[in-house]
Amino acid sequence: MTDRRRINPPPGGTHPPIFASTLSTPSALRPQRPTRTRQPSELRKIFLQTSLVPSASGSAYLELSPSSPPSAPPSSAAYNPSALKLTCTIHGPHPLPRSAPYTPHLHLSTTLKFAPFATRQRRGYIRDAAERDLAAHLETALRGVVIGERWPKSGVDVVVTVLEGEEDGWWGDDVGGGEGAGGGGKGIGGGWGLMSVLAGAITCASAAMADAGIDCVDLVAGGVAGVVVEAGRTTKGKGKSGEAGLGTVVLDPCPAEHEEVRAAAVVGYLAGRDEITELWVKGDVGADAEILIEKAVEAAVSSRTVLVEAVREAAQAKFIQPAENGAAVGSKKGAGSATADVVMSG
């Protein structure tokens, strides 16, 4: 498949490098499997900053710190733990084109794209189904908070770029290192990393919305919780898999750290109103879906503290500093100030 608008790889076709160490036996790889060092109710550290893109009306950058930092960082040329990094920019509200049909509400259009270098396998430039699906989930989460009636006939573009995604599992499972390692395997389905990406995107987009000054009823924060089966308990868990308590419920699961993720839930939660605008549950939850969702809400509440802090900082920078600057410049000399009026002639 050639794309004539982009520069194409050589026609012979390329493949990612194969590392010799991954061809060894699963038992040799097992010690490299990362384990969760956090408490079950502890989230990874979130870094959130707003107003990065001056040409956009609002923007934010979110980064999750890698949960298990490697002991010797640059030792491996192949596999380093990744951390979620994403940016969100908001353009608008702008008038919709004349050709667009009348809408009484603000028209939200969300786009989510992984960078080509965001994942272990190189991604293409054309959006795939997973990215479109995530964008649709994000739109649902945001539509619930925006007061759309205030902008009839207008549109807002929410663009999320994932610079580095969450992994769907431990790399050892992909290269065969996980086979026979406790029988768990990869769990059902896959795509668990997308859940964390969505939660991050919701939080980040909410900060960008606040930065853009678009009226919202509350800040929406994303949270994930997952049902995981730990390596030691796999055999036990398998025996009574029909039971409700399938595994441990953890907040903010990092799929690479768990032998198997049974189920996961993402919520977009408004803590101020105790409302959920977005709910996505995946996997085999069993009977206690409510516990899982409650835990996801708990995660959202925790990430909200970071969100509130970032928005507050941004607001202080925006509204308090200009006043100080203006005062400083004014005292220096009025003529040279940026805020002084310019007289236009002719």
Partner 1 sequence: MPAATVTTSPTPTPLSFPAPIFAALQPSSFLRAHLAPDSPSQPSLRANGRRPSEFRKPNINTGSLTHSHGSAVVRIGDTAVVAGVRGEILLADDIPNPPEREKRDFDTNSTRQESRGSGADPSSKGGGDADADAEADSLAHLQLLVPNLELSTGCHPSHLPGSPPSSLAQSLAQRILSLLHSTRLVPLQQLRILRPRARSSDLDDEGDEMLDPDAAVDGDGDGKVKGWEVVAYWTLYIDILFISLDGAVFDAAWGAVVAALGDTRLPHAWWDADRECVLCEEDGAQARGLGLRGCPVAATVGVFAPGRRGVVGGEKEEESWMLVDLDAFEEGLCREVVTVVVDCSGGGNGRIHRVEKNGGGAVGMGRMRHVVRSGEESWRNWAEVLGELGS
- Residues interacting with partner 1, by CB under 8 A? 5-23, 52-56, 59, 74-83, 87-91, 94, 109, 111, 113, 115-120, 122, 125, 157, 159-161, 163-164, 335-346
Angle at CA of residue 58, ends 56 and 63, nearest 5°: 110
Cα separation, 210 vs 219, in Å, equals 8
Which two structure tokens, joined as six digits, stand for 110? 């969300």
Closest to partner 1 by CB, 331 vs 345, is 345
Which two structure tokens, joined as six digits, stand for 334? 């009025």
CB of 120 to partner 1, least distance (A): 6
Q: Is 329 helix (H, G, I), strand (E, B) or coil?
A: helix
Which two structure tokens, joined as six digits, stand for 63? 């980064």
Half-sphere exposure of 63 (CA within 13 A, CB side): 9
Closest to partner 1 by CB, 72 vs 274, is 72
Cα separation, 189 vs 124, in Å, equals 22
CB of 26 to partner 1, least distance (A): 16
Type of residue found at 124: G
Closest to partner 1 by CB, 230 vs 257, is 257
Closest to partner 1 by CB, 159 vs 249, is 159
Cα separation, 302 vs 60, in Å, equals 18
Closest to partner 1 by CB, 113 vs 282, is 113
CB of 302 to partner 1, least distance (A): 25
Q: How far is CA 324 from the centre of its chain?
A: 35
CB of 337 to partner 1, least distance (A): 7
Closest to partner 1 by CB, 11 vs 242, is 11
Which two structure tokens, joined as six digits, stand for 81? 């733990």
CB of 217 to partner 1, least distance (A): 24
CB of 151 to partner 1, least distance (A): 16
